[in-house]
């Protein structure tokens, strides 16, 4: 059946974005996947949380439409296991038996929306688009963070030390004393760090160091 296929729709390559539907009701999976594909979205369906977990986490921006009351592992339990962090997905819950406590739990844990059945196509599509926007932003953030880590790895140990100390606010002469090198050498290492990190200004280098967590609290 179309709603049971895990193949991405050709109109929306898997490298761009995906929508995963996790619901133990075959008719719901089929209806939602048909709607999504009619809107040009790539969709995969899963009949249980366990089935979804067996395939691994999404690697492209993904909206996960997740039923709360699944057989076996529940939707809320699955959400707790996913612990997205920087993973490129966002969750939209659906339920025919939602209550305030359930909704609050899901939203507090990071769900983007919680739709009570029956919902309109417009409500679902609006939530999906918002979830994909959030997933894309998270995906881009993770890619940027990875790029920064790769640039930082190209610095020599001494350049990394100078970058951390300079970003923490130490003056060149203080860095020189700490690292037991001359101020001239500090300037060379600092310039090299800026070049390799692609920082146009020292202020930008400080921001990069902060975003990477290189500056200790109180440093």
* CATH number, residue 141: 3.40.50.2300
3-class DSSP state of 4: helix
Categorize the per-residue pLDDT at 77 as very low, low, confident or very high, splitting at 50, 70 and 90.
Answer: confident
Chain segment 105-129, per-residue pLDDT in tens: 777 767 888 898 889 999 999 999 9
Task: Print the domain residue range for 16.
Answer: 2-145
Are 114 and 29 members of one domain? Answer: yes
Are 33 and 98 members of one domain? Answer: yes
Q: Are 2 and 30 in contact (CB under 8 A)?
A: yes
Chain segment 29-58, per-residue pLDDT in tens: 999 999 999 999 999 999 999 999 998 888
Among 145, 163, 181, identify where a domain stops. 145
Chain segment 161-211, per-residue pLDDT in tens: 999 999 999 999 999 999 999 999 999 999 999 999 999 999 999 989 988
Q: What is the helix, strand, coil percentage profile of the chain, to 5?
A: 55, 10, 35
DSSP notation for 113-175:
EEEESS--HHHHHHHHHHHHHHHHHHHHHHHHHHHHHHHHHTS-HHHHHHHHHHHTT--HHHH
Are 98 and 180 members of one domain? Answer: no
Q: Compute the C-alpha angle 46/51/55, nearest 5°.
A: 100
Which pLDDT score, from 0 to 100, does residue 65 have? 96
| Confidence (pTM) | 0.66
Among 145, 167, 196, identify where a domain stops. 145
Among 145, 173, 202, identify where a domain stops. 145
Are 82 and 100 members of one domain? Answer: yes
Q: State whether the Cα torsion 134-138-144-145 is positive or negative.
A: positive
Q: Are 127 and 107 in contact (CB under 8 A)?
A: no
Q: Are 19 and 62 in contact (CB under 8 A)?
A: yes
Q: Rounded CA gap, 73 and 48, in Å?
A: 8
Label residues 176-195 b or e (16+ Cβ within 10 Å = b): beebebeeebbeebbebbbe
Categorize the per-residue pLDDT at 85 as very low, low, confident or very high, splitting at 50, 70 and 90.
Answer: low
Categorize the per-residue pLDDT at 218 as very low, low, confident or very high, splitting at 50, 70 and 90.
Answer: very low
* CATH number, residue 162: 1.10.10.10
């Amino acid at each position: 059946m179309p709603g049971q296929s895990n193949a991405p729709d050709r109109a929306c390559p898997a490298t761009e974005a995906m929508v995963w539907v996790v619901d133990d009701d075959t008719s719901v999976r089929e209806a939602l996947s048909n709607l999504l594909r009619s809107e040009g979205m790539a969709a995969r369906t899963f009949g249980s949380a366990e089935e979804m977990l067996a395939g691994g986490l999404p690697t492209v921006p993904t909206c996960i439409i997740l039923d709360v009351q699944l057989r076996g592992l529940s939707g809320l339990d699955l959400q707790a296991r996913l612990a997205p962090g920087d993973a490129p997905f966002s969750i939209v819950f659906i339920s025919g038996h939602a209550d305030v406590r359930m909704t609050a739990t899901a939203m507090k844990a990071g769900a983007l929306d919680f739709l009570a059945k029956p919902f309109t196509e417009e409500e679902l599509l609006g939530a999906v688009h918002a979830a994909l926007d959030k997933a894309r932003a998270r995906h881009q953030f993770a890619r940027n963070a990875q790029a920064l880590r790769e640039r930082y790895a190209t610095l020599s140990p001494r350049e990394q030390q100078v970058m951390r100390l300079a970003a923490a606010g130490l003056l060149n002469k203080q860095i020189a004393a700490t690292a037991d090198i001359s101020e001239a050498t500090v300037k060379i290492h600092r310039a090299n760090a800026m070049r390799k990190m692609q920082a146009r200004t020292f202020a930008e280098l400080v921001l990069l160091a902060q975003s990477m967590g290189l500056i200790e609290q109180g440093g």
